[in-house]
Every structure is written in structure tokens, then in C-alpha cells.
Amino acid sequence: MNELRLLVCAMLLNAGVAAVIGAGIARHMLKEVPAIASVRLTQLVAEHAEHAARANTDENEAAADARAWAIALEDALGTVAERHGAVLLPVRGVAAGAPDLTAEVRAEMGRSLATTQGGT
């Protein structure tokens, strides 16, 4: 009878250790899976195109503005993605329910462009 109790205790101990290790592995793996979020890139580009069309600038200035905008977009996408621990995808490539971070990307770009324009 004592041998049976010892065997049951050993099995329960092994099962407990296996459960803790399994939970730890699952938790570690889940931490590394990034979230998915969307950005309305077409909307951001269209807004910039409308703004550029209204601007009264020469060709060189328009090219410099386009470069600055593209750099701000790239930086904003990276900043927002890192902030949320997410992979940002165009809205059409994302299933319904993923958060739309377009407004946050737009705000980040605004800060970046204001800093760039303020420094020149």
C-alpha cells in the first residue's frame, strides 16, 4: 500500500511539474506572438496628395515635402508598431476586429513633420 501511495505521489508530482513547464512554455511563446493591427495607408496617401495639390510650391520643394512625408510615415509606422507590439498591415489585408491605428499613425506623423519643419 505504501508503494502505491509513493507511486501516486510521484505521478502527481511529475504531472504538476509538467503542467508548470507547459504553462511557462506557452506563456513565453504567447509573449512573442505580435498583435495584428491595421492602418489605412490609402487614406493617408490620399490626404497627403490632396494637401500637396493645394500647396503652392515649386517642383523641388514639392519633392522635398514628399520625401519628408515618406520618412515621417515610415518612422510613424515603426513607432506605433513598437508602442503596440503589433504588426501593422493595410486595412484590406486584415480580418475584421483588428484595431485600426490610422489616427495614431497620423498624429505621430504630425509630430514628426512639425519637428522637422520647425527645425528648418
DSSP lists the bridge partners of residue 35 as 86
* This prediction's pTM: 0.67
Task: Check if the beta carbon of residue 109 is closer than 8 Å to that of residue 80.
Answer: no
- Condensed to tens digits (0 to 9), the pLDDT of residues 8-63 reads 666 766 666 666 666 666 666 666 667 889 998 889 999 988 888 888 888 888 88
